[in-house]
Structure 1
Amino acid sequence: MEAINGARKANSSKATILALGKAFPPQVVMQDLLVDGYFKNTNCEDPRLREKLTRLCKTTTVKTRYVVMSEEILKKYPELTVEGVPTLKQRLNICNKAVTELAIEASQNCIKKWGRPMSDITHLVYVSSSDVRLPGGDLHLASGLGLNTDVRRVSIYFSGCSGGGAGLRVAKDIAENNPGSRVLLATSETTIMGFRPPNVDRPYDLVGAALFGDGAGAIIIGSNPNKEIEKPLFELHTTVQQFLPDTEKIIDGKLTEEGLSFTLARELPQIIEDHIEEFCKKLTKEVGFSQEEYNKLFWAVHPGGPAILNRLEKKFHLDEDKLSASRRALSDFGNASSNTIVYVLEYLLEDNEKMKSEGKNNPDEWGLILAFGPGVTFEGILTRAVIN
């Protein structure tokens, strides 16, 4: 890991992120206009619920999101706004098509940045909590992209917000154990499954309405980069996955005839704060960072919500700018579940390029990718930025 004249040499044996891409549906939701639109679309006039959603929209710090839901969909399926009506079939018809289209677009954007032909992709890791069918979304994506028919596919379903981290972990293992392989990791999500009219008995629905967004992300991962064509961005080193016993109900989702019934316990930020230090010690053991040195790391944290980011910042006494990429992603896209870590990594790259253009010192070399999902499950990767 030698540095020469400010440049860091890539470790050829390590799986490396070689390109990133993203895609979004065309509907943009401005947070300032969400409340009026949501209550109009769901024919709800409850002032208490309106007041609560207005308050949530401010506390989430989200400013814009992209969603599959549209007026055209509601006109075609008005039953989606009616309480107690079975709509699972309709939702799946919308979701399955949408997540495939988004995943194809994000993957195409990523492959274009990568610079090598699509035929060089040997493996596909597909992540979604919005796709339920046989054959799965992995095959529909492979077919839609025109990948080789012998591409080796792996699917990760219903990992929620930790899905992006899980996908990176699996892609890393594939890349390092299959010399010459190039892995396409694709994530794709939509909130259609959880769209429901507001109800005083389901306050969690309002949290979803104020926080979550749709989209897709894509990453190319491989070891031993071809430096004439490929540009190594982040090396993936230690990976850790850990679930916390007896926390299964903290993030709880059930597929019902009316779609996805979702609950998120208030205790989640505290639970993460209580366990994150020991988890990060496992990740940073390779480079020997102590808690006092955590400001020497860069942080790519899935922004599940502002409370989680605030707890991490406080726990590790992080400088204000350490979570800026996560906060920007949350503000610009909302919590887009498994996709969001891709958006955070892109913002980190933008920040690095800005520092270089301003003639500042090289950004932090080592960093952590963190995500938290159902289980409660922690996903983490010790990563190293490769500055060219």
Structure 2
Amino acid sequence: MSKMSCESSVMLDRARARRVPTPGTATILALGKAFPSQLVPQECLVEGYIRDTKCIDATIKEKLERLCKTTTVRTRYTVMCKEILDKYPELVTEGSPTIRQRLEIANSAVVEMATEASKACIKEWGRSVEDITHIVYVSSSEIRLPGGDLYIANQLGLKNDVGRVMLYFLGCYGGVTGLRVAKDIAENNPGSRVLLTTSETTILGFRPPNNARPYDLVGAALFGDGAAAVIIGADPVLGQESPFMELNCAIQQFLPDTQNVINGKLSEEGISFKLGRDLPQRIDDNIEGFCRKLMEKRNLVNFNDLFWAVHPGGPAILNKLENTLRLKSEKLECSRKALMDYGNVSSNTIFYVIENMRENLKREDGEEWGLALAFGPGITFEGILIRSL
């Protein structure tokens, strides 16, 4: 490359980044996503689910129809399809021990999606796959030894001395946990580049509806499948990398004695979830203090001076957050759009939110500081004070 073209590239990179990255602080350098081929419009979900599970209970159908209208979801992607049900009809037999079959489907599906998302991310990043020094893999949808991190590393052609970290069964806050872990790796290993990838499928929890398990219907109405990936690194290389977000400070907090509010249990039939009705209120009661902890790191005071990347666990959680913190309606627009387009895809969803807001933050009047937040089993809060570049 000529000196002139190098200088042009540097100037372009500087023009793209309005703010200078803080030396030694982790940044997001690229982002990718992937989904299974089956797209399900929400208006088609009830008939399909009732047909596939051979449900003849009219009251269950009515409940699911009501839930589908309140979730605000419009479309979702799913691994489950007719071919899988034809091959494994026992998946819709109540009480059938099907954990082996579910893992046969899920283990390969999550790696395929994570690999596709990672390839898209690496392509956007623009550097060689050999420059990746670490991989952090997040999933609540597979179980095996070795884990999916090794399979993904092999399929991507990562070096065999790549540092691997696997984060299993964290649920909805797993994506932000992954960011926190990748941030620590990047900042403590100068020159490192961390591939963080998340991948989720609802296969482990798919089952025929039962009035004794109302939570299954919530899952059917709300959750989707997919994967995401980001490259994390400190001290971006001018002319080669285009950081768009800085991971400034990160904290985690759990609420004592709330481990049964979000409850997931693995059995021979798959995984079953229980969501307490008081979940939105528990989050609401504690969220302001948690946000203040992060904001105090940079002497930030006004919630509406920030941009907000919030995991959309469901519309009730977003509504509570908006009301409690007196946020302007547009502040959670990117979270609501991610929920609308993809449903709740557990650990992945925060990255769909971040992608939605990437264009917004390029505006000249865009906010400099924001918060990335997610909530999950524990009840656990994950938060990162982020900075737009």
TM-score, normalised to structure 2, is 0.95
Amino acid at match of 1:325: C
Aligned to 2:165: 154
2:282 matched to 1:258? no
Q: Does 1:315 align with 2:324?
A: yes
CA displacement at 1:238 relative to structure 2: 1.1
What are the equivalent positions in structure 2 for 1:292-303 lying under 5 Å apart? 293-303=302-312
**Seq. identity, %:** 63
Superposition deviation, residue 6 in structure 1 = 9.4
Task: Please give the alpha-carbon distance, in whole angstroms, between the structure 2 residues aligned to 1:219 and 1:5.
Answer: 18
Alignment counterpart, residue 27 of structure 2, candidates 8, 16, 22: 16
Q: Please show how residues 81-96 of structure 1 align to structure 2 within 5 Å.
A: 81-96=92-107
Measure the CA separation in 1 of the matches of 2:122 and 2:15: 29
Conserved 8 A contact 2:75-2:340: yes
For 2:335, give the aligned amino acid: S
Alignment of 1:362 with 2:365, yes or no, is yes
Q: TM-score, normalised by structure 1?
A: 0.95
Q: Distance in 2 between matches of 1:5 and 1:84?
A: 56
Shift of 1:350: 2.5
Conserved? CA contact 2:17–2:244, under 8 Å: no
- For structure 2, list consecutive stretches of 5 or more residues without a partner in the other structure: 1-13
| Residue 237 of structure 2 is aligned to residue 226 of structure 1 | yes
Instruction: Report whether the alignment pairs 1:168 with 2:179.
Output: yes
Distance 1:202-1:181 versus aligned 2 partners, 3 A rule: same
Question: 1:223, 1:241 → 2: CA distance?
Answer: 21
- Pick the aligned partner of 2:46 from 35, 40, 54: 35
Alignment partner of 2:344 out of 335, 339, 358 = 335
Letter in 2 for 1:222: G
C-alpha distance after superposition, 1:147-193 (max 9, x if no partner): 00000000100000000000000000000000000000000000000
For residues 227 and 80 of structure 1, the distance between their equivalents in structure 2, rounded to whole angstroms, comes to 52
Q: Paired residue for 1:268, among 252, 271, 279?
A: 279
Q: What's the CA shift for 1:117?
A: 0.5
Code of the residue aligned with 2:350 in structure 1: it is: I
Residue 383 of structure 1 corresponds to 386
For 2:15 and 2:195, the matched residues in 1 are separated by: 31
RMSD: 1.3
Where structure 1 has 5 or more consecutive residues not aligned to the other structure, the ranges are: none
After superposition, the C-alpha distances for 1:247-273 in whole angstroms (9 at most, x for unaligned) are: 000110011100001111111100000
Question: What is the aligned partner in structure 2 of residue 198 from structure 1?
Answer: 209
Specify which of 86, 90, 99 is matched with residue 75 of structure 1.
86
Between the aligned partners of 2:17 and 2:173, the Cα distance in structure 1 is 34
* 2:188 aligned residue: 177
CA deviation after TM superposition for structure 1 residue 7, in Å:
2.4
Matched letter for residue 138 of structure 1: D
**Letter of the aligned partner of 2:169 in structure 1?**
F
2:17–2:243 Cα contact (<8 Å) kept: no
Structure 2 contact 17–242 (Cα < 8 Å) conserved: no
Deviations 1:322-377 (A, max 9, x none): 00000000000000000001100000013234xx3xxxx42110000000011000
Equivalent position amino acid for 2:217 in 1 = L
State the one-letter code of the partner of 2:237. N
What is the SS of the residue equivalent to 2:238?
coil
SS at 2:297 equivalent: coil
Answering whether residue 328 of structure 2 is matched by residue 325 of structure 1, we say: no
Tell which deviates more after alignment, 343-352 or 166-175: 343-352
Find runs of 4+ consecutive structure 1 residues off by over 6 angstroms. 3-6
Question: Equivalent residue for 1:304?
Answer: 313
After superposition, give the CA deviation of every residue in 1:86-136 in whole Å (9 maximum; x if it has no partner). Answer: 000000000000000000000000000001000000000000000100001
Shift of 1:70: 0.3
Q: 2:122 is paired with a residue of what secondary structure?
A: helix
Aligned length: 376
3-state SS of the aligned residue for 2:378? Answer: coil
SS in 1 for 2:177: helix
Distance 1:12 1:47 in 2: 61
How far apart are the structure 1 equivalents of 2:236 and 2:153? 23
Task: Give the conservation status (yes or no) of the 8 Å contact 1:31–1:63.
Answer: yes
Task: Please report how far the alpha carbon of residue 4 of structure 1 lies from its aligned counterpart in structure 2 after TM superposition.
Answer: 10
Greater shift in the superposed pair: 329-338 or 140-149: 140-149
SS at match of 1:237: strand
Cα offset, 1:5, TM superposition: 12
Q: Quick one: distance in 2 between partners of 1:137 and 1:298?
A: 33
SS of 2:298's equivalent in the other structure is coil
Question: For residues 153 and 4 of structure 1, what CA distance do their matches in structure 2 show?
Answer: 34
Partner residue, 1:241: 252
Residues 300 and 341, structure 1, Cα contact 8 Å, conserved in 2 = yes
Q: Equivalents in 2 of 1:143, 1:210: separation in Å?
A: 35
Q: Does structure 1 conserve the Cα–Cα contact (< 8 Å) formed by 2:306 and 2:367?
A: yes
Preserved contact between residue 16 and residue 242 of structure 2 (Cα < 8 Å)? no
Which residue does 2:108 correspond to in 1?
Answer: 97
What secondary structure is seen at the aligned counterpart in 2 of 1:55?
helix
* 2:25 partner SS: coil
**Deviations 1:275-323 (Å, cap 9, x if unpaired)?**
0011111111122122xx1101000000000000000100111011000
2:227 counterpart SS class: strand
Structure 2 CA distance, aligned partners of 1:79 and 1:257? 12
Change (3 A) 1:238 1:44: same
Residue 6 of structure 1 contacts residue 362 of structure 1 at CA under 8 Å; is this kept in 2? no
